[in-house]
Structure 1
Amino acid sequence: MPSSDAQAAAPRSIAFLSKSIAMDFLLPAYQAQFPGSRLLLGAELQALLDAGQHDDIEVAVCWHPPAAQLSQLTQGAGLQLVQSIAAGIDHIDTQALPASTPVCRIVDSTMGYGMTAFVSWAVIHRQRHMDRYVAHAAQRQWREESIVAPSRHRVGIAGLGTLGQGCAKALLAMGYQVRGWSRSAKQDLPAGLEGLQTFHGQAQKAEFLSGCDTLVCLLPLTDETQGFLDLALMRQLPRGAHLINVGRGAHLVEADLLTALAEGQIGAATLDTFSAEPLPAEHPFWQDERILVTPHIATRTDPRVIARQTAHNFSRIRAGQAAEVAVDLGRGY
């Protein structure tokens, strides 16, 4: 059933743009939300763009959109909203967009639950040596590894947005020592984070890193945070630290991780995002047993949530109001 937002204001046409995934998995949710709108993707969309017949495309739904297609859309008179299907917009070349075109991200509490579950699992998996138990079981070996209480294991979370706060709250509830770092100070943290030790800015980053047996990266990707996980940072962690990257692939300098592993500075890494996806079969990460690769599956947003938020954003724009989750392009989130 379409929401009241969709009934009040439906775009004439919606384009789905991606160079990395098939976007047709979104179509049932958008068909239900916008029964009167034309949904365009693939060859049909490209034919209209090439013919210059795209003035009725008012919404572009994007995940790594091809730059050429996005540029063609901006040359028409219809585009009113660019909707990311993710919590960030770093996959969109916003410089190609008119400043007047709102770019919106997804805010989804259920996505937070998925991320919290994944990060909690990743921390426990290494901290309790589950990787070793899997290997022992394959050899039919009854072998006990050292047991370290959560209260003696320090988890640092770089990025204290909604996702980072959710992960911190869950880990605190399990008894872990948790600290968080953000680029600017966080005020008025919600209930459940009373035990969280917070740091912010470059001046406090080294102190933060020195107390991270496990480091989780959940930062937004901006010009400032690209390459955040480099060798200099890794060398400020306790020796043998576990690195978890569930932010963006561009946060990690991949060659530096291999160097840090070779040095023993990093003991293990759990990586869910990569600079090139899918990760090429010849990539050295596949061959290193200290690196656990997962295919960008830490969390997902239900397509129905994406469609509903698109409807809400479009209805506000059509009514002359600001979209509630429009991104500050200067900050990148």
Structure 2
Amino acid sequence: MPGVSSLRAWWAGRSPAAGSAVMATGIVSVGLHLAGAETVSRVALAMACLAWLALAADFVLRLVGERQRWVTEAESPGALTAVAATAVLGTRISALGRQTLAEALLALAALLWPVLIVLVMRHWKRRMSGSVFLCCVATQGLAVLAATLASAESTAWLAHTALVLFWLGLVLYGLALARFEPREVVKGAGDHWIAGGALAISALAGANLLGADSGRLYLWDEDDRGVLSTTTVTLLVLDLAGYLVLLAAEAARPRPGYDMRRWSTVFPMGMTAAAVLSVASTVDVGWLRVPGQVLVWVAVAAWLAAVTGALLAARAGARDDVHRPPDGDRRPATGDR
């Protein structure tokens, strides 16, 4: 069947960064949950889980049967989407009260993180695309999930581990920024938005760390809480400023057409919305809630655009596959030997 063979060909040739689609769908689900749209949020979560399972199965099959290809793909920055996507799903699942499953996802992400981050950072170079910031995103994803579980289960050591990961993530952001090619802002294919998404997930991690504190745990004293609050708000302000700059760059130099890397645009949009809503609640800045809700639906619109683009691209690929003649029937062009 041509359609099935085309789908298999697409799946076999997919980018290691395909996990960005799971990240985007997962964080849109988180944002919808925070905005109160629970039914739609759960639909998005179900889609993200199905996609994660498919990618996880493929990850294992390649590790077992195509070891060299697995290593090659693991060395690309996009491989870190496996950690980030797992952490985002765990965070949303924790909000459903399924703490055991969320803990399993945290353990899996924590096992993958040191292996992949070493492989990826070992191949860093100068003037990289926005995917270089995935080192920060993956690390802060672990911090977000660990802080979420610390709050849900009143576990102090998880909160302190999340705090270490939070500060480490900010250090990694600085290292990535030194290797980022600034011109990607006006010529990137979509993953340049991760520069802002990394700030957003850092702000979300800070908000979750603040939210994890309680009279029972007493995690942070007044000075610690003050530093954490100031850092979190600063990260959110920088993220929102970056969001506006990236939007302006898109308007000044439109880049129509679907590209897999556009999922890396949806993720920062959804993450910014989630960060705004979380900071509004944790730092008690009520007026931020309305902008946060607006940003959630902007992210949903971007997600729908990415889904439409992916379906149209798959359809076009299937049509080309149907009309492409077999190799044996191809007539040589003039001048062929």
TM-score w.r.t. length of structure 1: 0.25
Largest Rg, 1 or 2: 1
* Structure with the bigger percentage of strand: 1
TM-score w.r.t. length of structure 2: 0.25
